[in-house]
A and B are shown apart, each in its own frame.
Chain A
């Protein structure tokens, strides 16, 4: 399973990448939303993990952009956010995301959480 991980914080990106890799994912990383959009066509990921707050383009705009593009709108999006509050979650779901994973995430179970949201 291939995942596109958009996270601006390098250390967090590293931990998430290693954690997902350990869970058997193929990980493509992007440092912000813009980069994620650039890479999504080439990478063809099975799922996209978007950090909520990023420079250049944040998770919100990125999600909207991806969902507006017929080529990418079918790819499930999961938000990585510190704002695991009802409003944020419902906002994310309203944008077409399939779920949210709260930050800080558990490095040992991140892969399981993604799979759980995807229902596999």
Chain B
């Protein structure tokens, strides 16, 4: 039951009690009023009754006087007394409630009236006193009067007793009333106290207990046991508070869980960050120590964000100012190894930022300060997860030393070859002159002389090829390209090897596609290329077979020159090796004429120097076609 209901109930009870008390007070007041009325009645009754008794006496006296005197005045007095009596006896019953008293009074009245009519009035007209009169009085009036007096006496006694009884009763009731009157405030006080106690019990005590719990909870002690929840407003409040406490506790727990998770995550992040930082430092240290110039460039700012010491030493430090920076990078002049210029903005990080991946590209960089630095450039763009280019890494390896070594090697080879060639020339010339001048009787001697001569030739060829290769590799082979007719190139080449073909019993045919334009080549070197290819074909061609030279257009820019033999072909797994230095296909049948192992490498190098390509198509058992392309003259 709710406190409100209970308080209303209690107040209702108090109001009811107060109402009852008021009713009681009113009742007491009525009682008291009735008591006063009764007392007043009793007084009037007593007074009327006493007057009645006195009137009866006076009537008796007046009758006697009238009878004895015969005086009319006395008789009138008597008549007046009678009137008074009649009034009194009429008034008296209104003060009398008790029926027996009324009956008694009525009986008494009847006696008196009987006396009045039969013993008094009948005697009155007889005038004067007489013995007759006396006898008649004694006869008629006295017995009656005796009875009347008896009745009166009993009446009086009755009334006296009644008045006494009434007095005792009134006293008792007065005490009671006083006591009852005193009880009313006492009861009110008791009720108030009860009300206060009640409110204290159902409201204040739980509130106090509750407040204490709340204080403890606010101190952070959630384990406080809350007062049991009664089924009233405080109970509801306690329940609500308990729910709130639970919710707060849960939230606090959630919060502290979240905080601790947050802390864990943050610790993890810190660890990761520290790790990443260590890795970063390690990487930077690594980048810093490698003898390769490394630049990392940001795509958005086009600014170098990482530059190692080697890069600084090699390229210098780029200016801070944006325009100066662009000028700085454009002030490098860059060429490929063969001298082909590389467009500004198409090398280094600028090229990498365009998305190119570069691996080991050889460039000759002329630094703004005048240094000419051969470098190997490698680089790759850096992309974000979406694949967008956010930067680039470029690495430049200063290969000046390699170039120097290469140069020394070439120089060495060149000198050695030259030094070898001079005595070989003498040997060859001596042998030739000897063989031509001196007749040899024994044919074996001539054979021996020829062996010496042919091996000298081979040695000269090897040395020549080595010289060519070393010149090409050193970039020292100058080309003198001019327009030449294809037929000129091919016929000069064939002339060079005609004697070889004839001695081997082979024929060389030439097929030139109509309309093949002139080519732009170094004639001697082109002849060297074709001679190399034709002598190769002659070496592998079967006896009496034909070697075919062909020329046709290859696109708008090139003419393809090919040499086809009907030899045994080249296994496909060996094709890739063909154009490498000192690669010879071994085997007894291939040893008819021994080459230098450099021929095709020289062919490839010379063709590529002129912008063309060299390749071979071969089928085992059918033959091989070696093709080179040379640029069309414009």
* Interface residues, chain A, with chain B CB atoms under 8 Å away: 9, 11-12, 14-16, 18-19, 22, 82, 85-87, 103-108
A85 to B436: give the CA distance in the assembly, Å: 31
Q: In this complex, what residue of A is CB-closest to B524? A: A84
B373 contacts the other chain (CB 8 A): no
Flag whether B433 is at the interface (Cβ < 8 A): yes
Taking CB atoms and an 8 Å cut-off, the chain B residues in 71-107 that contact chain A are none
Q: Is the CB of B428 within 8 A of A104?
A: yes
Which A residues are CB-close (under 8 A) to B437? 18, 22
Residues on A with beta carbons closer than 8 Å to the beta carbon of B460: 104
Least distance between B356 CB and chain A CB atoms (Å): 37
Cβ contact within 8 Å between B422 and A104 = yes
B220 CB, min distance to chain A CBs, angstroms: 99
Complex Cα gap A111–B421 (Å): 21
* A35 smallest CB distance to B (angstroms): 20
Which residues from A are CB-within-8-Å of B432? 106-108
Contact A107 B428 (CB under 8 A): yes
The chain B residue sitting closest to A108, CB to CB, is: B432
Question: What 1/0 flags go to B422-450 for Cβ under 8 Å of A?
Answer: 11111011101100110000000000000
Chain A residues, Cβ within 8 Å of B429: 12, 15-16, 18-19, 104-105, 107
A22 partner, pick from B418, B433, B478, B480, beta carbons under 8 A: B433
* Interface pair A86/B425, CB less than 8 Å apart: no
Tell me, rounded to whole Å, the shortest Cβ–Cβ distance linking A107 to chain B.
3
Contacts beyond the supplied A9-B426, A82-B421, A108-B432: 20 A-B pairs with Cβ under 8 Å: A11-B426, A14-B430, A15-B429, A15-B430, A16-B429, A18-B437, A19-B429, A22-B433, A22-B436, A22-B437, A82-B418, A87-B478, A103-B422, A103-B425, A104-B421, A104-B422, A104-B424, A105-B429, A106-B432, A107-B433
Contact B428 A86 (CB under 8 A): no
Q: Top 4 nearest A-B pairs by Cβ distance?
A: A104-B425, A107-B429, A15-B429, A11-B426
Chain B residues whose CB sits within 8 angstroms of the CB of A12 once the complex forms:
422, 425-426, 429
Task: Pick from B418, B422, B424, B433: contact of A18, CB below 8 A.
Answer: B433
Q: Give min CB distance, B410 to chain A, whole Å.
A: 15
Q: Count A-B pairs with CB separation below 8 Å.
A: 53
Contact between chains at A15 and B478 (CB < 8 Å) = no
B471: min CB distance to chain A, Å:
10
Q: Are A86 and B422 in contact (CB under 8 A)?
A: no
Smallest Cβ-Cβ distance to A104: which chain B residue: B425
* Structural contact, A86 and B418, CB atoms closer than 8 A: no
Shortest CB distance B411–A (Å)? 15
Could you jot down 5 A-B contacts, CB within 8 Å?
A9-B426, A12-B426, A14-B426, A15-B429, A19-B433
Residues on B with C-beta less than 8 A from A11 are 422-423, 426, 430
The reply to whether A85 and B478 contact each other, CB–CB distance below 8 Å, is yes
- Neighbouring B residues of A87 by C-beta, 8 Å: 478
| B 391-410 contacts with A by CB, 8 A | none
Residue of A nearest to B430 (CB): A15
A9 contacts B422, CB within 8 Å?
yes
In the complex the two chains form, what is the Cα distance from A80 to B98 in whole Å?
Answer: 193
Bound Cα distance A7, B419 (Å):
15
B433 contacts across to A, CB distance below 8 A: 15, 18-19, 22, 107-108
* Complex Cα spacing A86 to B423, Å: 25
- Measured CB to CB, the closest approach of chain B to A66, in angstroms, equals 25
Contacts of A22 in B (CB 8 A): 433, 436-437
Q: CA separation between A10 and B424, bound complex, in Å?
A: 14
A114 → chain B closest CB, angstroms: 15
The CA of A14 and the CA of B432, in the complex, are separated in Å by 13
Q: Closest residue to A82 on the B side, CB-wise?
A: B418
Task: Compute how far the CA of A68 lies from the CA of B424 in the bound complex, rounded to whole angstroms.
Answer: 36
Residues of A within 8 A of B421 (CB): 82, 103-104
Q: In the complex, which residue of chain A has the Cβ closest to the Cβ of B460? A: A104
With a cutoff of 8 Å between Cβ atoms, the chain A residues found around residue B428 in the complex are 104, 107
Q: In chain B, residues 135-165, which have Cβ atoms closer than 8 Å to a Cβ of chain A?
A: none
Inter-chain CA distance A104–B432, complex, in Å, is: 13
Most A CB atoms within 10 A — which of B424, B425, B480? Answer: B425
A86→B436 contact, CB < 8 A: no
In the complex, A5 Cα to B423 Cα: how many Å?
Answer: 18
A86 surroundings in chain B (CB, below 8 A): 478, 480
User: If A15-B433, A18-B433, A22-B433 touch, does A105 touch B478 (CB 8 Å cutoff)?
Assistant: no
Q: What separation, in Å, do the CA atoms of A71 and B421 have in the docked complex?
A: 36
| Residue numbers in B under 8 Å from A14 (CB-CB) | 426, 430
**Chain A residues with CB under 8 A of B425:** 12, 15, 103-105
Contact, CB under 8 Å: B436 / A15 = no
**CA–CA, A103 to B421, complex, Å?**
9
* B418 neighbours in A (Cβ, 8 Å): 82
Chain B residues positioned under 8 Å from A108 (CB to CB): 432-433, 436
Complex Cα distance, B423 from A22, in Å, reads: 21
Complex Cα gap A28–B480 (Å): 36
- Smallest Cβ distance from B414 to chain A, in angstroms? 10
Complex CA–CA separation, A107 to B430 (angstroms): 8
Please report the C-alpha to C-alpha distance between residue A15 and residue B425 in the assembled complex, in whole angstroms: 9
Q: How far is the CB of B416 from chain A (nearest CB, A)?
A: 13
Q: Closest approach, in angstroms, between the C-beta of A111 and any C-beta of chain B? A: 12
Interchain CA distance A104-B234 in the complex, whole Å: 126
Q: Mark B474-508, 1 if CB is under 8 A from A, else 0.
A: 00001010000000000000000000000000000
Known A22-B437, A82-B421; judge A15-B480 contact (CB<8 A): no
Residues in chain B near residue A18, CB distance under 8 A? 429, 433, 437
> In the complex, which residues 513-565 of chain B have their Cβ closer than 8 Å to any Cβ of chain A?
none
Nearest-neighbour CB distance to chain A for B442, whole angstroms, equals 22
Bound together, the chains give a CA A104 to CA B433 distance in angstroms of 15
Closest to B479 in A: A86
**Bound: A67/B432 CA distance, A:** 35
Q: State A10–B428 Cα separation when bound (angstroms).
A: 15
- Residues in B with CB closer than 8 Å to A15 are 425-426, 429-430, 433
Closest beta carbon of chain B to A29's beta carbon, Å: 15
Alpha-carbon separation in the docked complex, A103 to B436 (Å): 21
Q: How far is the CA of A56 from the CA of B182 in the complex (A)?
A: 167
Complexed CA–CA distance, A33 and B421 (Å): 22
A16 CA to B430 CA in the complex, in Å?
10
Chain A residues contacting B430 (CB-CB under 8 Å) are: 11, 14-15, 107
A3, B321: Cα distance in complex, Å:
72
Report the bound CA distance from A54 to B524 in whole Å.
27
Which residues of chain A are within 8 angstroms of B436 by Cβ–Cβ distance? 22, 108
Expressed in whole angstroms, the Cα–Cα distance for A15 and B437 within the complex equals 13
- How far apart are the CA atoms of A59 and B587 in the complex, in Å? 48
Minimum CB–CB distance from A30 to chain B (whole Å) comes to 18
Chain B, Cβ-Cβ closest to A11 = B426
Q: How far in angstroms is the closest Cβ of chain A from B600?
A: 23
Q: Which residue of chain A has the shortest Cβ distance to B424 in the bound complex?
A: A104
Residues of B with C-beta under 8 A to A9: 422, 426
Min Cβ gap A17→B in Å is 10
